[in-house]
Amino acid sequence: MTKILLSLGHGFSARALAPLLLSEGWEVIGTTRDPAKLEAMRATGVTAILWQEDSVTEALGRTTHLLMSAAPDAEGDPALRLAGPAIAARAPRIEWAGYLSTTGVYGDHQGGWVTEDTPLDPATRRGQLRVEAEAAWAAVPGLPLHIFRLAGIYGPGRGPFAKLRKGTARRIIKPNQVFSRIHVEDIAQVLRASIARPNPGAAYNLCDDAPAPPQDVIACAAEMLGLPIPPEVPFEEAELSPMARSFYGESKRVCNARIKEELGVTLRYPDYQSALAAILAAEQASGG
C-alpha cells in the first residue's frame, strides 16, 4: 500500500522532506492557501490541494502520515481549527504524525543549555502560542504525535547572503547572545529518520552542533562572499522590528543529542560554516 503524507502548511521544511519521500514511492499531499501556487507545487510531484475543510478532510481519508507546519495564531492551531474532527477521526489509522514547533518554547536561558526535558517557559507570545499548540495536538486521542522543536532555519534562498549583497546586513552585538540553527536538509533527514523509527510522544530538538552569536555568522558569510564585514551595532542602538527584537530577548544553547542517539542522525551541516558554504555553492551552481 502506498504511504501517503499529508503536509498541512507545505512550507520550507516540508518542501525539503517531500523529495525524499517521493523518491521512495510515497504520495505527498501538500496544502496551500494560494490557488496560484497549485501548479508550481504539482510540478514538484506533490499532490497540491487548497487549505479548505472539504479538501483537507478528503485527503485525511487516505492519509497514513501527517505533518503539521503552519504556525498557530491568536485563535490557536489553524489545522485543528480547520479540520479538528476529521483529524481526530483519522488519528487511530495514522502511523506517524509530526508537529513542527520551535525552540522558542524553552524561553531565555541566558546562554545556558536546554534539552527536550527542560521545562517549557516561553518568553514571547509566539512561544506561548507554540506551547499551547503542542498541547492541543498532544490532546488528540490516538494520534501518534512527534514534536520537533526547530532552531533558526536556513538553507538555499534563506540565509545572510542576500542581505549582505543588498548592503542591509548588520552585526548587532548583544553580550552573551547565542542562537542555535539548523539547515533545512537536516530537518528533512531528521523527519525521515523519525518516520522510520516512530516513537509516539517523543519530542526532538532540531539544531546543529554549534550555537553561535549572530554577528559571527554574518562575518563568516561576508568573508565567503569577499565583501566587507559589516560594522558592529550595539543592540541598544539597533533599529529592529518588534519581532526581530523579541528574538534577542532569548539566548540559549540547544542540545541535539537525542536526534543522534535515538534516531541515528548524522548532521550534514553540523555548524554554520559548513551550511553557509553549501548554500553558497548551491547558489553558484544554479547561476545565482
pLDDT band for position 230 (50/70/90)?
very high
Residue 240 lies in a domain: no
Out of 107-116, 133-142, 238-247, pick the least confident: 238-247
Looking at the structure of the chain, the number of domains it has is: 1
Give the DSSP H or E segment for 277.
Answer: helix 272-285
156-184 average pLDDT score: 91
Residue 32 lies in a domain: yes
Burial 54-81 (b: 16+ CB within 10 A, else e): ebbbebbeebbbbbbbbbbeeeebbbbe
Q: Are strands 113-114 and 253-254 parallel, antiparallel or unpaired?
A: parallel
203-229 average pLDDT score: 96
The pLDDT of residue 288 is: 58
Residue 226 lies in a domain: no
Report the CATH number at residue 99.
3.40.50.720
CA distance 187 to 123: 24
183-196 average pLDDT score: 98
Please tell me what DSSP assigns to residue 288. -
Residue 287 has pLDDT above 80, yes or no: no
Residue 134 has pLDDT above 70, yes or no: yes
C-alpha cell at 248: 534577542
**Better-predicted residue by pLDDT, 122 or 243:** 122
CA distance 205 to 184: 14
Residue 40 has pLDDT above 80, yes or no: yes
**Model pTM?**
0.95
Q: How does the average pLDDT of the chain come out, rounded? A: 95
Using only C-alpha atoms, what is the Rg of the chain? 19
pLDDT in tens, 243-273: 788 888 899 999 999 999 999 999 999 999 9
Residue 283 lies in a domain: no
Could you tell me the residue range of the domain that residue 118 belongs to? 4-155+182-208+256-268
